[in-house]
Structure 1
Amino acid sequence: MPDPGALMAAEIAEQPAAWRRLSIEGRDQVRAAARRIADYAPRFVLFVARGTSDHAALYAKYLTEIVLQLPAGLVSPSTMTTYGSRPDLRQTLMIAVSQSGGSPDLIQSLQVARERGALTLAVTNQPSSPLAEVSELDLDIRAGEERAVAATKSYTTQLLALYLLLDAVRGGDGSATDGLPDLADQVIADNDQFVRLAERYRFASRLVSTGRGYSYPTAREAALKLMETSYLSAQAFSGADLLHGPLAMIDRQVPVLATVNDGHGGAAMLPVLSRLRDLGADVCCVGAGEAVRAASAGYALPGQVPEEVSPLLEIIPFQLLALHLSVARGSDPDAPRGLAKVTETL
């Protein structure tokens, strides 16, 4: 019998290689899709996704609004599948993000979007999937087969593919990502630090994760990983929303996972961290060294990368924490109860 979490651990470790592969082998496909999008000149960008991929889509929403300065939104698939909505989507780019490309609600949403005038793009780990087949354009994230139920390498390669695409649309060359695989190797090599962090939170029954800007999707993905692997009650809030009411539930018994980058989002988190300290909260911080040193515990990310690509690195410590916390609590993160690798919804 394989060790608990062996698949998840292997796939976390494969991420730097997957990023290098996508950056090289996917370059022409990214450029071709970017040219088509630039020629189409959308006035609005919609994203549709589920689960982990929904957090990648949220990241891309931030990128679209900041980098391309276009309005962007996240689609509720049920409006088209359950309620039969058929909106006018001319001058709209709709991007579907899915590891498997097999969920019926995403397929139907993209079909409707194409029928209603949108340019459609599928970002998947399965280039022959039904989702890719119904889309006009597709991007293969080239993560390789992912067997663990909890998505790790498919999530970060989705982030990378979406960044490379949107950067190419604005005329960039993707160079901001050049050093990321080497930095990711350094994070993964620090595995023992996350084993110790897992012991710190082994008996937690609930926790909160938080971040702002580009780091907010990281907070949401971190919470999901802990819920599905360690069966914790984990809630994710943007730093701003946390101060608007949920802060009242924070006490010394509710650990807070905070993602604090070196950019504008990280600066916006500083008042949040100050309030948490006032409450005596146990704050585990990932990101900028100064913020980590001021926290109860955490991990300072190596190097300095542009804020817009920092989510690729930020999530790895939380993936490793989820892996080791699950094992420490006697579970197998490769086989979380009640879950399957592909979830089909409509």
Structure 2
Amino acid sequence: MLEEALASCDAVEAQLQRLNPMLEEVAGRLRRQPPQVAMTIARGSSDHAASYFAYLAMQHVGIPVASLPMSVVTLLQAPLKVSGQVAFGFSQSGQSPDLVNSLRLLRKRGVLSISMVNAEDSPLEAACEFHVPLCAGPEQSVAATKSFIATLSASAQLIGHWNQDLLLLQACQALPDGLREAATQDWTPAIEALRSSQRLIVIGRGAGFAIAQEAALKLKETSAIQAEAFSSAEVRHGPMALIDENYPLLVFAPRGAEQAGLLSLAADMRQRGARVLLA
């Protein structure tokens, strides 16, 4: 898992070398026949990456994005009026039958279908009109790392091409160096702070909430910590009642419009006695 996480910078570099023609083809199609609504379809880590994609699409392109429950398509066969819209399928393996069948059925109903998959020549790729490879290479760890990061990177690049956002595309070029720098950071203080924890709340907002969701999942599946993710906007509406002396909180507060509110919440939780880790 650690080896694969550290290889994420190589995956992003491979994307920057390979994906521009594919992304411009997809983006050109989206601009020529612009959908009014976008749907994301995914599970687990890929669904968290899809949430990140959704925030970027809404912020930069201005298109509403919804996560579509697969059961609505495959089990309930709901008569969705989706012709002319776009659906994005996210997956590491591209093998899940419900995911593949959902995209296949939506395509039959007139949806522009786009897959973002790490594994090559997958059934999901075959089911969709367009495909964006994640370029992360084989992933052996059950807990996905480099494929998750590669999905975030490919999502940002696709949004940059779709909206012809040169600043966003330039920022994507800096990602490999940023990932290498993050890999050299000393995370020992955070490890010590969480070593004895059995429960944890992970907090983010906006696109950062997707990262909080993924961090909570990783803490569950790798460390058996009952970690739950909440938007900072929701913490005061119930979850705050759980937070008492030494309750551990992990707060993601990246630069942007959401940062001030996240820092304010972190300060308030420290006053309540919580043990706050701020990233």
TM norm structure 1:
0.78
Q: Residue deviations 1:170-210, cap 9 Å, x none?
A: 113411112221121111112xx223421221111100000
- Secondary structure class of the residue paired with 1:260: coil
TM-aligned CA deviation for residue 250 of structure 1: 0.7
CA distance, structure 2, for counterparts of residue 75 and residue 125 of structure 1: 21
Contact 1:243 1:272 (8 Å CA) reproduced? no
Counterpart position of 1:226: 219
Pairwise CA distance, 1:37: 1.5
1:257 Cα offset (Å): 0.4
> Are residue 57 (structure 1) and residue 50 (structure 2) matched?
yes
1:275 is displaced (CA, Å) by 2.2
> 2:5 is matched by which residue type in structure 1?
I
8 A contact 1:212–1:268 mirrored in 2: no
Match for residue 180 of structure 1? 175
User: Are residues 1:273 and 2:269 paired?
Assistant: no
Aligned residue pairs total 277
Partner of 1:263 in structure 2? Answer: 256
Q: 1:248 aligns with which of 234, 241, 251?
A: 241
Task: Kindly state the Cα deviation for residue 14 of structure 1 after the two structures are TM-superposed.
Answer: 0.5
Counterpart residue type for residue 89 of structure 2: A
- The answer to whether structure 1 residue 194 and structure 2 residue 170 are counterparts is no
Amino acid at match of 1:24: Q
Paired residue type of 2:178: L
Corresponding residue for residue 81 of structure 1: 74
| The 10-residue stretch of structure 1 (167-176 or 12-21) with the greater mean CA deviation from structure 2 | 167-176
TM superposition shift of 1:117: 1.1
Is the 1:207–1:232 Cα contact (8 Å) retained in structure 2?
yes
Flag structure 2 segments of 5+ consecutive residues without an equivalent: none
Letter in 2 for 1:185: R
Note if 1:112 corresponds to 2:79: no
Following superposition, which runs of at least 4 residues in structure 1 exceed 4 angstroms of deviation? none
Q: Name the aligned partner's letter for residue 241 of structure 1.
A: E
Q: 1:133 aligns to what?
A: 126
Q: Cα deviation per residue 1:83-104 (whole Å; 9 max; x = unaligned)?
A: 2223111121100000100111
In the TM superposition, what whole-angstrom CA distance separates every residue of 1:121-157 from its partner, at most 9, and x where no partner exists?
A: 0000023100000100010010011111110000011
Deviates more, 1:217-226 or 1:107-116: 107-116
Distance in 1 (alpha carbons) for counterparts of 2:188 and 2:3 = 16
2:232 aligned residue: 239
2:155 to 143, 162, 168: 162
Q: Which amino acid aligns with 2:252?
A: T
Distance 2:14 2:79 in 1: 38
Percent identity, aligned pairs only, is 33
**1:210 touches 1:236 (CA, 8 Å); kept in 2?**
yes
Q: Partners in 1 of 2:79 and 2:170 — Cα distance?
A: 39
Larger CA deviation: 9-18 vs 268-277: 268-277
Is contact 2:246-2:273 (8 Å) kept? no
Moved more, 153-162 or 85-94: 85-94
RMSD: 1.1
Asked if the contact 1:208–1:257 (Cα under 8 Å) also holds between the matched residues in 2, the reply is: yes
User: CA offsets, 1:59-80, max 9 Å, x none?
Assistant: 1111111100111100111111
Please give the alpha-carbon distance, in whole angstroms, between the structure 1 residues aligned to 2:261 and 2:231. 10
Aligned match of 1:13: 6
Mapped to 1, the partners of 2:8 and 2:220 lie a distance apart of 22
1:270 shift after superposition:
2.8
Structure 1 portions without partners, runs of 5+: 1-7, 287-346
Say whether the 8 Å CA contact 1:53–1:99 is kept in structure 2.
yes
Select which of 16, 32, 41 maps to 1:23. Answer: 16
CA-CA distance at 1:82 after TM superposition: 2.0
Give, in whole Å, the separation in 1 of the partners of 2:203 and 2:127. Answer: 36
| Aligned residue type for 1:231 | A
**Among residues 39, 47, 58, which one is paired with 2:40 in the alignment?**
47
**Aligned AA (1:109):** S
TM-score by length of 2: 0.96
TM-superposed CA distance for 1:274, in Å, is 2.8
Give me the whole-angstrom Cα distance separating, in 2, the residues matched to 1:150 and 1:25. Answer: 26
